[in-house]
Chains A and B, each alone.
Chain A
Amino acid sequence: MLVSLIRTAILYIAVVAGLRIMGKRQIADMQPNELVITILISEIASIPIQDVNQPILSGITAIALLVAMEVMLSVLALKSGWIRSLINGRPVLVIHHGKIDQTAMKSLRMTVDDLMESLRQNQIFDLEQVEFALVETNGNISIMLKSRYQPLTVGQAGIDSGDKGLPVPVICDGKLQPHFMRALSVSKHKVRGLLKSRKLSPNQVFLMTLDAEGNQTLITKEPKT
């Protein structure tokens, strides 16, 4: 029993480390090869967990090899467009200037129902509104509306709202966030100064965000009941 638990813990660490090395991606955003590798890793890890007769090292080396190959393949794909298209494929236009490309849909084995469903998921209920639609390499569909159906932007309306930059959390749950403070070029001293002006200390703050212009949002911790 204890052996099983220890083996499971070791393999858990190996799988998490492997996935971290491969990088962060949500399942929906994965390329087909990444999805296959992720499933394979979980399958391989499960075998030595279930079968204590199998040397754990065989599972770990198999996981390590898959991760190493995946990383090297992704670096190669980054350097070479040919390898990238070989592994991931290319985006395919299924609506071109408002006209459905039936040949492209056939080659993707995509039905009209699939296309309409994808459009509806993008809040488009009338095919007439679509100028271009592309099936991306991860299977998602990207849509460009005809100009008359595109929403008005602030730029088109001639309103200059000004870019405030990204508000970043400088204190989370009473703890200063040096990583975000560095990104905003704000010192701990300055943050403490801002809090002092409100007669607060960092451990009284639940969330504090700052942007490049110095705008701040501050939420204090609720008193303990």
Chain B
Amino acid sequence: MLTKEESYIFDLAQNPQHAGELVDATLTLEGANLSCGDEIVLYLELSNDVIASAKHSSRACAVCVAGAEMLIEEIIGKEVKKTLEITNEEIIKKFPIELSPTRQKCATLALQTLRGLKKT
């Protein structure tokens, strides 16, 4: 049986609000977790250094997809440089369940992918 907290994460992953592609994406970032095979693509639409819109396309576990959903909620409307200040702990804290070190990597894959912005 799933707990209420686990159900929240699975629901978030099974009914993602920000999944899909952005046709007008200014930037597309790809990330992967080689140890488990999770893959994510982040689509960002920038307007004057502000993230106007964002979506993700994930082939990943529930924790990873939920992490991407939580991240996108956090970054829309924010300046790019502010989003790069988001820490792993801030994302992990949003999860109502305890995450093992392995699952923390899943939760922060979208954030790691966003950090690819530093290279662009």
> Are A and B genuine complex partners?
no
